[in-house]
Amino acid sequence: TQKVMSGDWKEKAAVRDQKTDLSRWRLKNDRGVQTWVYLKSDEEVQKWPQSTADKWFLNQDTGLPDLPPAKTPLDAANNGLQFFSKLQLEAGNWACEYGGPMFLLPGLVIVWYVTNTPIPEDHSIEIKRYLFARQNPEDGGWGLHIEGESSAFGCAMNYTCLRLLGVEADDQRMVKARKKLWELGGALNGPHWAKFWLSVLGVTHWDCVNPCPPELWLLPDWVPVAPWRWWIHMRMVFLAMSYVYSKRWTYPLNDLVRSLRSELIPETYETINFDSRRNTIAPTDNYHPKTWVVRLLFWLLINIWFPFLRTASIKKRAEDHAWWLLCAEDDNTTYANLGPVNGPMNTLCAYIHGGPDGKEFQEHLKTLPEFIWMKGEGMLMNGTNGVQVWDTSFAILAVHDAGLAQDPRWKPMLTKALGFLEDQQVETECRDIAQCYRQSRKWAWTFSNKKQSYTVSDCTSEGLKSCLALQSQPGFPKLVSDERLKGAVDILLTMQNATGGCASYEPQRGSELLEWLNAAEVFGRIMVEYDYPECTTAVVTALRMFQQHFPSYRADEIRAFKARAVDYIRRAQRPDGSWYGSWGICFSYAGFFALESLAGEGETYATSERVRRACEYFLDKQMPDGGWGETYRSCETGVWHQHAQSQVVHTAWVVIALLYAEYPDPEPLKRGLKIIMSRQQSNGEWLQEAIEGVFNKSCMISYPNYKFIFPVKALGLYARRFGNEPLL
């Protein structure tokens, strides 16, 4: 056991693990619909060679050549693009792993398992390899995300996932994980979502799951807590959950599940009072403790509503309506669904409703693989069905802002990227848009692809800016018509909150007091949409750019929108000069957005006390090596947490922030850029450092392309302002 504790256990066990032949994996990209394929025959391998991007995703040698060493910022930007351009896919977009969250794969695997769906062996092998690779070395557990400390949620779900894929309970790594889970009190100390999934599987009993009544969908729209007002991810997860919960559907008991009961719960199953465990939760998992309000509500539902008031006919009406909404979601997204949690859950709903041969269930099975990603350390589930539109727009704008769009080396790449955005602009409205509470989507851009079809304020904005920026320059084709550009602006003009700020998918529809009903425990700020400096800035800058080209289109509305939005940005600044970031880590991310908003109104270091405060905030945080680095704890706590090492991405963000602020002294920027340049590899690449993104305050998510996009932008913007003198 001494050895087992020393870390050696992991390597030893790994020797026994199977691994597929990484040279046989290919990313298939059908106009932005991405799936990984494992080629079984040598003939297929011959016919379909691995691309440079495939190799890079799989952590294989890309074979890309060494470049002349960069001396100036623009040398470094061009070297970076030399590498990054090779990662562009045939369809014109960029792709990458979008992992980080550690609660997604288990949902997928549980759904496959309980629906008796055969899991391809290559998938099973690689998922196991990934989960073991991501096991925390100290305690053998898993957290909410790859960098997080072990939690009951992470341990219970990923342990279960491995067992369903055939790992033995006496595998040393499982023994260690179990020990950690038991220390945390076992699966009954997990959050609501763990209890939900484990009750589906039959490891726990439905009585330990806090109520999810589909009846909420029958409430009239004016009711302040009606689900249509919730943040879209919460209401879509709740929709599927409420359907399954109402059915209390459970997989028929078998030996494996019986064994899991004793592995995951340190008590005798038969003696457990499950109802008394609805609110037991490990401290590691209790990021957002439930309020007395939501506890009281649950008590009333359990003790009064379900036993005495809920008639069979109400139950049926609620389930029928939930099913109708589920079908609308499937139709409107061609089964892609909003995200990686409701996707598998809707699959289960379809199975419960129509059985294994039902059309909906079969369609879901075909679509689920679009969430899967294959990388060097194994197979994982992405946070969306890809990053296609988002990363492609950001890439275009980085080259443009760096002043390199006219460089003949990058024109073909940019033209292809523009073609991709043209192809991915959403062309149609939803069916039954009002009844399924959807935001308008015609001429919007999404985060991933047109198939998923969800309007996002900033994705539409970055898409619009990319098209405007390229199409107005000589040498680029005009692919997106004026009418379509105006259509995107029409969408943006629907996105403003009463405060002036913009949210993510929709304007805020319910009171922030709804956060009192947040019952997910592991996440913060999830119940309604909020104002975000990032999203607001994206919209403001898109409207600004649009007005330069179309000064008379809805001019008054746009002017008023911008003024109110920038005013929100001013109000959102904290007294210390910072802005809290919700989608990237953390203050460095929101800061460069906010300062871009202000710069457009002429507020810079020279003219604005507010901007000077923001600059001082960042300069205070500069590390002795000249870089910047923030840890994900900033997002959790709302206070800057210095990273032990400076980070390329954070350094780029802060340099960009200071450039937007027109900070007069180039010295601190030079020191930052030197760090970025010194970390660049001889082939132009930058290597992966700490995780970059976040959602819901507590869960981190990877943006691997940011380490190319933002350094290029920072280096180029610097050269445009201070000249392209050698820095190294």
Residue 535 interacts with ligand LAN (CB under 6 A): yes or no: yes
For ligand LAN, what does the binding mask look like between residues 341 and 380, x meaning CB under 6 A? x---------------------------------------
Is there binding between residue 131 and ligand LAN (CB under 6 A)? Answer: no
Q: Which is nearer to ligand LAN, 84 or 695 (CB)?
A: 695
**Cβ neighbours of residue 522 closer than 8 Å, sequence gap 6 or more:** 144, 151, 153, 191, 193, 285, 287, 288, 698, 699
Residue 454 tokens, joined: 């969800």
Residues 455-484 that bind ligand LAN (CB under 6 A): 456, 458-459
Contact 198, 263 (CB under 8 A): no
Interactions with ligand LAN, residue window 310-339 (CB under 6 A): 339
Least distance from ligand LAN to the Cβ atom of residue 340, Å = 5
Cα distance between residue 369 and residue 52, in whole Å: 22
Alpha-carbon span 597 to 277, nearest angstrom: 48
Reduced to 3 states (helix: H, G, I; strand: E, B; else coil), residue 226 is coil
Q: Is 585 in the site for ligand LAN (CB under 6 A)?
A: no
The nearest distance, CB 583 to ligand LAN, in angstroms, is 4
Kindly tell me which residue out of 340, 507, 704, 716 binds ligand LAN, with binding defined by CB under 6 A: 340
Within 143-202, the residues that bind ligand LAN by CB under 6 A are: none
**Shortest Å, Cβ 99 to ligand LAN:** 10
**Helical segments of 49-91, H only:** 52-57, 73-84
Q: Rounded to whole angstroms, how far apart are CA atoms 460 and 530?
A: 18
Q: At 450, list the tokens.
A: 């047109």
State which residue, 185 or 340, has the beta carbon closest to ligand LAN: 340
Let me know: does 230 contact 238? Beta carbons within 8 Å: yes
Residue owning tokens 């619909």: 33
Handedness of CA 380, 383, 386, 388 (dihedral sign): negative
User: Smaller CB distance to ligand LAN: residue 360 or 462?
Assistant: 462
The SS3 assignment for 135 reads coil
- In Å, what is the CA distance from 195 to each residue of 81, 100, 107? 46, 21, 12
Cα dihedral 154→158→159→162 (10° resolution): -170
Does position 35 bind ligand LAN by CB under 6 A?
Answer: no
| Segment interacting with ligand LAN, rule: CB under 6 A, options 52-60, 180-188, 453-461, 607-615 | 453-461
CB 485 within 8 A of CB 553: no
CA distances from 165 to 106, 108, 256, 291, 545 (A): 10, 12, 11, 37, 51
- Give the contact letters, 56-85, x = binds to ligand LAN (CB under 6 A), - = no: ------------------------------
Inter-residue contact 628 to 672 (CB < 8 Å): yes
Q: How far is the CB of 582 from ligand LAN (least distance, A)?
A: 7
Beta carbon of residue 699, minimum distance to ligand LAN (angstroms, whole number): 7
Using CB under 6 A as the binding rule, whether residue 534 contacts ligand LAN is answered as: yes
The site that binds ligand LAN (CB under 6 A) totals a number of residues, namely 20
| Residue 297 is a binding residue for ligand LAN (CB under 6 A) | no
508 binds ligand LAN (CB under 6 A): no
| DSSP per-residue codes, 174-215 | HHHHHHHHHHTT-GGGS-HHHHHHHHHHTSS-GGGSPP--GG
Binding of ligand LAN by 128 (CB under 6 A): no
Of residues 339 and 684, the one with the C-beta less far from ligand LAN: 339
Can 458 be counted among the known catalytic residues?
A: yes
- Which of the following is catalytic: 458, 482, 576, 665? 458
| Candidate list 194, 654, 658, 701; residue touching ligand LAN; CB under 6 A | 701
Write out the binding residues for ligand LAN, residues 410-449 only, by CB under 6 A.
Answer: 447
Comparison of 237 and 265: residue with beta carbon closer to ligand LAN: 237
Nearer to ligand LAN, 337 or 646 (CB): 337
Number of Cα atoms under 13 Å in the Cβ half of residue 333: 31
Instruction: Kindly state the tokens that stand for 475.
Output: 């040498």
CB of 100 to ligand LAN, least distance (A): 9
Q: Can you name the residues that pair with 628 across neighbouring β-strands?
A: 647
Sign of CA dihedral 571, 573, 574, 576: negative
> Which residues 538-557 are close enough to bind ligand LAN by CB under 6 A?
none
Q: Which is nearer to ligand LAN, 391 or 685 (CB)?
A: 391
Nearer to ligand LAN by C-beta: 332 or 696? 696
The 3-state DSSP class for residue 79 equals helix
Question: What residue has token string 């032990």?
Answer: 644
Catalogue the active-site residues.
458
Residues at the contact surface with ligand LAN, assessed by CB under 6 A: 233, 237, 339-341, 383-384, 390, 447, 456, 458-459, 504, 523, 534-535, 583, 695-696, 701
